[in-house]
Amino acid sequence: MIEVGNLTTMEVDALTDVDGGLNLTDGHARLVLSEQQAAVVARIPEMFAEASRRPFSSIEREAHGTFLKAIGQHSAPVGTGRILSCYSSTLATDIVARALPAGSTIAVLHPTFDNIADLFLTRGLKLVPLTEEALLDMNWPGPPVDAVVVTHPNNPTGLVTPEGHLRSLAEHAARHGQTVIVDASFRGQVRDAQYDTYAVLDKAGADWIVIEDTGKLWPTHELKVGLLAYSARTKLPVYRAFSESLLSASPVVLLLVTGLARDWVSGGYERARELVTRNRAILQETIGGVDLQLADPASQISVARIALPAHGPDSSLLYKDMVARGVHVLPCAPFHWADPDGGLRFIRVSLARPYSTVEAAARTLVRSYTEMSARLT
């Protein structure tokens, strides 16, 4: 019997499947390096030598500036000491959770990846959901909410918070003494999400924290960084919480990020976008044969939700059956952290995989759904 736990547990199960099942769970890029990316990776021995002779601060500042400019964040506080390099965006989120006062009330986007809510809850914070509908209506929570967390673009739906909406939220937060927290882990994949968030937040006078991530962009086998940036206005002990967790990220990884970010603005973005678009198309075509459809057809991120009709199996049953067939995907109930039943009719598939993997997984999903539906009638 497969126990359905949190999303990361399911991702680990897929990663460690001794039978070699297809892993379409996590949103990390598990692709073959492009020719240009392979050339960057081939320079890792040189990067080790460079990391030994160059000051860490110089390497870090260059990585921050190159990566953030590559994704449109020209007003990010590069070189101020207010961007911290973490091993991952998850660690950055945990640092933020520890920096917030215990017992604070936090509004978190709903649905979104469950470890965001889990980390805040573990650190003694009280959570209330901010629905995507409320975000689009600019219906912002007031006191006693102390901070508002948005995922931009959102995982799993791909929703991009429009620039005017973020400005409205930031102005609201400034009036009410709230902190705006933006998880922008998928930002690098979507041009529409790459307006200058830092300029918007600062101009509104908001207290803010922004988390960036390189792990969703390049197939570097967990050689990545999560960037934790915070405003000059904040009185939260962000740096203290960071210093309790780690010394620094690897300078070699930061040099790797610099090289890959340069490729990203020299055709790398377009090459990656083409792969994801092609995979989304074959998924949509294959599931359409049994009247399944993409729940978020306008999404541009490297994952896709599939909507399941009410008369067939729900995603928890479909997930278990697919794992038994050697294919790992994610049921969406855990994304709906405040209302798990709301996610039972969605299943999520990662598109940052080789085309043949996505195609084979889509065919298995169709067989699984068809055979399970027949048994339920």
Q: So what's the pLDDT on residue 291?
A: 86
- One fold for 7-34+267-372 and 44-262: no
Whether 209 and 241 have beta carbons less than 8 Å apart is answered as no
CATH class of 7-34+267-372: alpha beta
Show the tokens assigned to 337. 């952290």
Q: How far is CA 353 from the centre of its chain?
A: 16
At residue 195, the pLDDT reads: 98
pLDDT at residue 1, rounded to an integer: 32
Does the pLDDT at position 2 exceed 50? no
Instruction: Give the other-Cβ count within 10 Å of 258's Cβ.
Output: 20
pLDDT for 377: 74
Averaged pLDDT for residues 343-357: 97
Contact 254, 59 (CB under 8 A): yes
What fold does the segment set 44-262 form as a domain? Aspartate Aminotransferase; domain 2 (3.40.640)
Q: What's the pLDDT tens digit per position in 15-26? A: 999 899 999 999
Q: Could you report the per-residue pLDDT of 50-81, keeping only the tens digit for each?
A: 999 999 999 999 999 999 999 999 999 999 99
Confidence of residue 228 (pLDDT cuts 50, 70, 90): very high
Spell out the domain ranges in the chain. Answer: 7-34+267-372, 44-262
Cβ contact 168:314 at 8 Å: no
Residues of the chain above pLDDT 70, percent:
99
Instruction: Decide: 218 and 37 in contact? Cβ < 8 Å.
Output: yes
Q: Which of 228, 146, 217 is nearest to 182 (CA)?
A: 228
User: Looking at residue 22, what DSSP letter applies?
Assistant: E
Distance CA 140, CA 30 (A): 37
Predicted confidence (pLDDT) at residue 244 exceeds the cutoff of 90: yes
pTM score above 0.85:
yes
Mean pLDDT of 10-19: 93
At 4, the amino acid letter reads V
